[in-house]
C-alpha cells in the first residue's frame, strides 16, 4: 500500500512534464519517404515548424507558420479568401489591417462565425500572426506593429 | 483566458484541461455535457391542428431541419417551397461514396474512389438511442438502421508517451484501471482509512462491491489469475481438447496505467449520448436525409444560393441566385420564412430582422473539425486483430480510428475513419491540402496499425471550415452567449424564424436540428391559426 502511494506521487510528478507536449516532427510525414509535390513540401515545412504539438494550443511561434496552420484554413494560403454559400474575406490587400488593434481583436475574440484563438495562442503568438498578416499577402502596414502588451490589453 | 489569470478560473479552463487530458473529441463531449442535457424532448409526431388558410412558407436550406419543417408544414396544409444551395439535400448530413466529387473552398477537388458499398460520413455518423426524434423519422421513412459500435473492448488505446508508444487494448486499460483503483480503495477501507466516511457495515459492502468491480482476489489484490484475465484477456485463450488450459496475462501496474493517461478515454462510452445502443442507417448516414428529400420531392429547389431576406407587413421576399448564373438575382416570396442556413453564412446575409435577433445571428462562432476516410485493401483490423467496428483512441493528431460497423468478414476492402479532430489539430489539418491530410492520417495511423503501410489504398478528407455550404462544423455556444442571445435567436421575428442545430441545446447533432424545426413550426403554426 505505502509503496503504491509513493509510486503514485512519483506519477503525479512525471505527468507534469508530459503536458509540455514534445513536438512530434520526427513522427510526421517527413519520415514517410513518399515523393512530395512542391506544394506539399512547402506545406510540410510551414506546418511542421512546431505544428501538431497539442490538442489545445498551437505550437508555432513565428507569424508565417501560425498563418499557415490557422488563418490559411479559411482565408487560404494566398490570403485571397473564398466564397461558397457564404464567404471568407480576403486578407490580401485588406485596408482594415491598417490598425493592428482590429485584427488583434478578431484573432483573440473572433467575429461572427469565426472563432477566437484567445485560449489557443499566447500573446506573442497573436502578435506574431497579426504582424505577419499586416506585412505580407500584399499588405504593407509595418508601422506600429502589435506588441504582446497590446494583445494582453485586448483580451476579454 | 489571459496568460496571467489563475488556472481554473472559468469553464473554458476546465474544458481546456479536459482537452489536454483527453483530446478534442473529449473536450467537445464535455462541452455538450456541461452545456446541456443531451436528452431528447421528443414526444412523438407533432400535430398541427387548425387551418392555415393557404398560408405559404419559404424554407431556406434542405438539411434535416429544413426538410423536417417542410414535411410537417405541408402535412398541416401549408404551401411550402424550399431553397437549397447544393445540388442535393442533407446539408451537413453527408456521405461520400465512390464516384462522388467534392470541391472544397479554395478549389481543391477530390474524386472519391471507394469500392462499391463502402462509404465515409464526414458529418454525423452515429445516432444515440435517446435521440428519439431523428430515430422516429428514420422509422417513419422506412430507413433501415443497424447498430453503431461506440465501445469496443478489443479496440486500441494508444499514447505516444505510454508503454513505448505501443498500443494497448481497451479491455486491458479498463480492467487494469478498475482493478488498480479497486485494490487501492478496498485496502484503504479495510485498513480503516475511510473511518468517519463510511460506517463499518457500509465499508464491508464497499469492499465486497470493489472485489466485484475490480476482479480482486481474496486478499483484495488485483493479481494475475484467470479471474482478472476474464476481464483483460488471456495470454493464451481457453481452448478445446488437449492443451486447452488458458494461460492468464500479467496486469499492468496502476502506476503505468495512470501515467499512460489511457483511462481518459474510458468515460466517453459512459456519456448519455454515447451509451450503447447507438445506430447508423444501413449504407451511410445520408440515407435518412435522402429519404426525407424523396418525401419532400419537388418542394425543394436545388442550386439556389440565398443572397438576401427582406420581410414586410405582408410577407417575406428572398433574393437568390442559381448556381452558374451569378449576379442574376431572382426572388421568391411567401407569407413566412424559416431560415435553417448555418449562422456562419446567415450572419453574412442582408436581412431585416430585429436587432436582438440580428445580434444573436452574429454571436455564434463555428467550430473547426476534420475527418479523414481511408480505404484499405483488406480488413486487417478484423483479420489480424479481431477488431470488429468500434473506436481506437490515440493522443496523436488523428485522435481516433473508427472501424466500419458493416460488412464484417468481407474479403474485400474496407473504409476506416482515419482521423476525427477538433481544436488546434482540426485547424492545422484543415489548412493542409486534402491529399496532405490523408498522407498524414496514414502516417500517424501506421503507429497504431503498421499494416497501414502496405494496405492503404486511397482516402478522402473534409475540413469543415472549408465546406462551401457550412463554413464550419457547428455553432459553438457558451453559457454567456446562450444567456444573452439564445432566446432571441429562436423567437419568431415578425415573419421570419430560424431552425437548425444552432437553435438547439443539442449542438452538432441531427436531433438538435429535428427538435428545433418541430418547435419552430409549432410556434409558427400557433401564430398562423390565431391570426
Say whether residue A57 is in contact with chain B using an 8 A CB cutoff.
yes
B71, containing H or E segment: helix B64-75
Best mutation target among A84, A107, A109, A156 (most B Cβ atoms within 10 Å) is A84
Task: Please tell me the distance from the alpha carbon of residue B72 to that of residue B80, in angstroms, as a whole number.
Answer: 10
B449 and B401 assigned to the same domain: yes
Q: What is the mean pLDDT of residues B511-518?
A: 98
Residue in chain A closest to B86 (alpha carbons) equals A85
B279 and B378 assigned to the same domain: yes
B418: domain CATH number? Answer: 3.90.660.10
Angle, alpha carbons B173-B179-B183 (nearest 5°): 145
pLDDT in tens, B469-512: 999 999 999 999 999 999 999 999 999 999 999 999 999 999 99
Among the candidates B425, B446, B466, a domain finishes at B466
pLDDT in tens, B266-323: 999 999 999 999 999 999 999 999 999 999 999 999 999 999 999 999 999 999 999 8
3-state secondary structure A97-120: HCCCHHHHHHHHHCECCECCCCCC
Domain membership of residue A119 (yes or no) is yes
How many structural domains are present in chain B? Answer: 3
Among the candidates B417, B434, B466, a domain finishes at B466
B491 and B520 assigned to the same domain: yes
Residue whose entry in the numeric block shows the C-alpha cell 419537388: B298
Mean pLDDT, chain B, whole residue set: 93
With beta carbons under 8 A apart, name residues in chain B contacting A50: none
Q: Are A97 and A133 in contact (CB under 8 A)?
A: yes
With beta carbons under 8 A apart, name residues in chain A contacting B367: 115
Q: Closest by alpha carbon to B60, among B332, B464, B289, B330?
A: B332
Report CB contact under 8 Å: A39, B465: no
B218 and B325 assigned to the same domain: no
Report CB contact under 8 Å: A4, B255: yes
Domain membership of residue A9 (yes or no) is no
Task: Please tell me the distance from the alpha carbon of residue B353 to that of residue B359, in angstroms, as a whole number.
Answer: 10
Q: Point out the residue among B161, B347, B432 whose CB comes nearest to the CB of A43.
A: B432
Quickly count: other Cβ atoms within 10 Å of residue B6's Cβ: 7
In the numeric block, which cell numbers belong to residue B501? 442545430
Strand partners, B51: none
Reported as a pLDDT band with limits 50, 70 and 90, residue B35 is: very low
pLDDT surpasses 60 at B32: no
Report CB contact under 8 Å: A47, B466: no
Domain membership of residue A32 (yes or no) is no
Q: What is the mean pLDDT of residues A83-89?
A: 97
Residue in chain B closest to A66 (alpha carbons) equals B428
pLDDT surpasses 60 at B18: no
Domain membership of residue A93 (yes or no) is yes
Among the candidates B466, B498, B516, a domain finishes at B466
Domain membership of residue A34 (yes or no) is no
Task: Please tell me the distance from the alpha carbon of residue B438 to that of residue B114, in angstroms, as a whole number.
Answer: 14
How many structural domains are present in chain A? Answer: 1
B301, containing H or E segment: strand B300-301
pLDDT in tens, B419-476: 999 999 999 999 999 999 999 999 999 999 999 999 999 999 999 999 999 999 999 9
Report CB contact under 8 Å: A123, B3: yes
Domain membership of residue B324 (yes or no) is yes
pLDDT surpasses 60 at A2: no
Task: Please tell me the distance from the alpha carbon of residue B397 to that of residue B324, in angstroms, as a whole number.
Answer: 38
3-state secondary structure B423-469: HHHHHHHHCCCHHHHHHHHHHHHCCCCCCHHHHEEEEEEEEHHHCCC
Task: Please tell me the distance from the alpha carbon of residue B402 to that of residue B389, in angstroms, as a whole number.
Answer: 7
DSSP class of residue B284 equals -
What is the nearest CA distance from A93 to chain B, expressed in angstroms? 18
Per DSSP, the three-state class of B58 is strand
Domain membership of residue A114 (yes or no) is yes
In the numeric block, which cell numbers belong to residue B175? 480492467
Task: Tell me the torsion sign for CA atoms B231, B236, B237, B238.
Answer: negative
Q: Point out the residue among B160, B259, B341 whose CB comes nearest to the CB of A15.
A: B259
A62: domain CATH number? Answer: 1.10.760.10
Report CB contact under 8 Å: B436, A43: yes
DSSP class of residue B89 equals S
Domain that holds residue A107: 41-154
Q: Name residues 192-251 of chain B within 8 A of A (Cβ).
A: none
B252 and B351 assigned to the same domain: no
B147 and B280 assigned to the same domain: yes
Domain that holds residue B104: 97-154+275-285+367-466
Amino acid at each position: 500500500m505505502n509503496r503504491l502511494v509513493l509510486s503514485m506521487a512519483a506519477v503525479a510528478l512525471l505527468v507534469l512534464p508530459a503536458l509540455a507536449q514534445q513536438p512530434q516532427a520526427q513522427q510526421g510525414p517527413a519520415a514517410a519517404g513518399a515523393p512530395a509535390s512542391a506544394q506539399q513540401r512547402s506545406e510540410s515545412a510551414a506546418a511542421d515548424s512546431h505544428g501538431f504539438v497539442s490538442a489545445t494550443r498551437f505550437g508555432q511561434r513565428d507569424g508565417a507558420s501560425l498563418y499557415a496552420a490557422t488563418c490559411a484554413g479559411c482565408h487560404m494560403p494566398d490570403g485571397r479568401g473564398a466564397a461558397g454559400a457564404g464567404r471568407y474575406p480576403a486578407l490580401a490587400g485588406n485596408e482594415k489591417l491598417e490598425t493592428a488593434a482590429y485584427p488583434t481583436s478578431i484573432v483573440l475574440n473572433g467575429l461572427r462565425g469565426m472563432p477566437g484563438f484567445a485560449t489557443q495562442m499566447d500573446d506573442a503568438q497573436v502578435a506574431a500572426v497579426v504582424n505577419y498578416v499586416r506585412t505580407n499577402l500584399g499588405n504593407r502596414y509595418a508601422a506600429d506593429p502589435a506588441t504582446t502588451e497590446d494583445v494582453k490589453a485586448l483580451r476579454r | 483566458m489571459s496568460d496571467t489569470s489563475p488556472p481554473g478560473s472559468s469553464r473554458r479552463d476546465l474544458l481546456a484541461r479536459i482537452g489536454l487530458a483527453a483530446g478534442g473529441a473529449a473536450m467537445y463531449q464535455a462541452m455538450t455535457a456541461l452545456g446541456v442535457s443531451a436528452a431528447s424532448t421528443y414526444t412523438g409526431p407533432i400535430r398541427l391542428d387548425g387551418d392555415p388558410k393557404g398560408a405559404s412558407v419559404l424554407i431556406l436550406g434542405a438539411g434535416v431541419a429544413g426538410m423536417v419543417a417542410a414535411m410537417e408544414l405541408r402535412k398541416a396544409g401549408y404551401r411550402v417551397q424550399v431553397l437549397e444551395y447544393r445540388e442535393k439535400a442533407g446539408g451537413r448530413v453527408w456521405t461520400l461514396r465512390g464516384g462522388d466529387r467534392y470541391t472544397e473552398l479554395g478549389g481543391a477537388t477530390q474524386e472519391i474512389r471507394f469500392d462499391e458499398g463502402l462509404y465515409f460520413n464526414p458529418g454525423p455518423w452515429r445516432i444515440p438511442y435517446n435521440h428519439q426524434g431523428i430515430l422516429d423519422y428514420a422509422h417513419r421513412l422506412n430507413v433501415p438502421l443497424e447498430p453503431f459500435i461506440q465501445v469496443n473492448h478489443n479496440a486500441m488505446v494508444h499514447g505516444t508517451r505510454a508503454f513505448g508508444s505501443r498500443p494497448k487494448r481497451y479491455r486491458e486499460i479498463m480492467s487494469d484501471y478498475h482493478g488498480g483503483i479497486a485494490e487501492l480503495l478496498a485496502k484503504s477501507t479495510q485498513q480503516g482509512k475511510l473511518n468517519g466516511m463510511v460506517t463499518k457495515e457500509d465499508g464491508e459492502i464497499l469492499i465486497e462491491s470493489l472485489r466485484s468491480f475490480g476482479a480482486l482476489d481474496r486478499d483484495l489484490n488485483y493479481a494475475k489469475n484467470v479471474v482478472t484475465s476474464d476481464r483483460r484477456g488471456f495470454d493464451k485463450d481457453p481452448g478445446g481438447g488437449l492443451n486447452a488450459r488458458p494461460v492468464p496475462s500479467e496486469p499492468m501496474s496502476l502506476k503505468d496505467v495512470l501515467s499512460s493517461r489511457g483511462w481518459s478515454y474510458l468515460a466517453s462510452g459512459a456519456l448519455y449520448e454515447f451509451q450503447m445502443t447507438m445506430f447508423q442507417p444501413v449504407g451511410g448516414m445520408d440515407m435518412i436525409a435522402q429519404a426525407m428529400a424523396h418525401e419532400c420531392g419537388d418542394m425543394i429547389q436545388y442550386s439556389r444560393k440565398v443572397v438576401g431576406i427582406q420581410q414586410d407587413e405582408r410577407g417575406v421576399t428572398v433574393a437568390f441566385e442559381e448556381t452558374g448564373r451569378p449576379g442574376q438575382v431572382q426572388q421568391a416570396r411567401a407569407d413566412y420564412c424559416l431560415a435553417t442556413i448555418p449562422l456562419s453564412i446567415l450572419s453574412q446575409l442582408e436581412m431585416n430582422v430585429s436587432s436582438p435577433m440580428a445580434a444573436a445571428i452574429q454571436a455564434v462562432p463555428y467550430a473547426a473539425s476534420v475527418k479523414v476516410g481511408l480505404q484499405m485493401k483488406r480488413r486487417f483490423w478484423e483479420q489480424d486483430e479481431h477488431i470488429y467496428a468500434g473506436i481506437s483512441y490515440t493522443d496523436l493528431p488523428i485522435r481516433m480510428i473508427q472501424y466500419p460497423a458493416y460488412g464484417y468478414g468481407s474479403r474485400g476492402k474496407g473504409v476506416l475513419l482515419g482521423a476525427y479532430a477538433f481544436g488546434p489539430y482540426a485547424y492545422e489539418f484543415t489548412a493542409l491540402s486534402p491529399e496532405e491530410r490523408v498522407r498524414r492520417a496514414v502516417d500517424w495511423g501506421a503507429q497504431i496499425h503498421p499494416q497501414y503501410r502496405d494496405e492503404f489504398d486511397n482516402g478522402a478528407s473534409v475540413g469543415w471550415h472549408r465546406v462551401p455550404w457550412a463554413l464550419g462544423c457547428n455553432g459553438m455556444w457558451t453559457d454567456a452567449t446562450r444567456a444573452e442571445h439564445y432566446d432571441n435567436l429562436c423567437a419568431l421575428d415578425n415573419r421570419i424564424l430560424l431552425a437548425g442545430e444552432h437553435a438547439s441545446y443539442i449542438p452538432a447533432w441531427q436531433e438538435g436540428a429535428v427538435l428545433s424545426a418541430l418547435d419552430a413550426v409549432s410556434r409558427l403554426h400557433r401564430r398562423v391559426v390565431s391570426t
